[in-house]
Amino acid sequence: MSLHIIPITGEETIMKPTRPLTVVIAACVLAGCAITQKVTPVESLSGKEICIVVNPAVSQPGFLTAYTRALNERGYTVRELPPGSAVNECPVTSTYTANWRWDLALYMAFADIKVYRNGNQVGQAVYDAMSGGANMSKFIKGDAKISELVDQLFPTRLRKEQS
């Protein structure tokens, strides 16, 4: 970091940072306000049923409702499995976790949806606003974000004759 010393009068001086310091500070602030989303889509599924292992640790019951609705809209039927069920209990099984935070309003800060075929992970969608800081785009509607994640996770809609 370099500083320019600008003499004012007599013994007073002002130390003024140069542009590189401003860029570093801006980068740190922006990185600290990052919201990330990463999706590894499911390539294809042979059946129309997806079993979801219920996660009682997710405090907002609306998450499961929104996830189920989004899958139904894509042509899938959903069967809920009890908490702790094995991911190989159905041909296609999904697990999820989600966290909410309060910052002026309640918002979904984190969601992780995993999809398994015959016990092997074949897809995952992660939304992470835990480091959202002052980024106002963290205040999303949870239902809309869940639907968006499902659309990206399952890019192929089932045809009418399949559903």
Which residue in the block uniquely carries the two structure tokens 């992470």? 128
pLDDT digits (tens, 9 = 90+) for 102-145: 666 555 678 899 999 999 999 999 988 765 544 444 446 666 77
In the chain, what are the helix, strand and coil shares in percent, each to the nearest 5?
25, 35, 40
Q: CA 140 to CA 56: how far, in whole Å?
A: 23
Domain boundaries 36-153, CATH class = alpha beta
Enter the tokens of residue 35. 């919201």
CA–CA distances in Å: residue 130 to residues 29, 41, 90, 97 = 15, 23, 32, 14
Higher-scoring residue by pLDDT: 5, 53:
53
pLDDT of the residue at 104: 64
Higher-scoring residue by pLDDT: 95, 60:
95
Q: CA 87 to CA 124: how far, in whole Å?
A: 14
pLDDT of the residue at 114: 97
Q: What are phi and psi of 113, to 5 degrees?
A: -115, 125
1 touches 21 (CB < 8 A) = yes
Q: Tell me which H or E stretch contains 98.
A: strand 92-102
Closest by CA to 155, choosing from 45, 3, 69, is 45
Q: Is the pTM of this model over 0.85?
A: no
pLDDT digits (tens, 9 = 90+) for 60-94: 778 899 999 999 999 999 999 999 999 999 999 99
Domain ranges of the chain: 1-31, 36-153
Using alpha carbons only, what angle is made at residue 73 by residues 105 and 154, rounded to the nearest 5 degrees?
85
Q: In the structure, what pLDDT confidence band is assigned to residue 24 with cuts at 50, 70 and 90?
A: very low
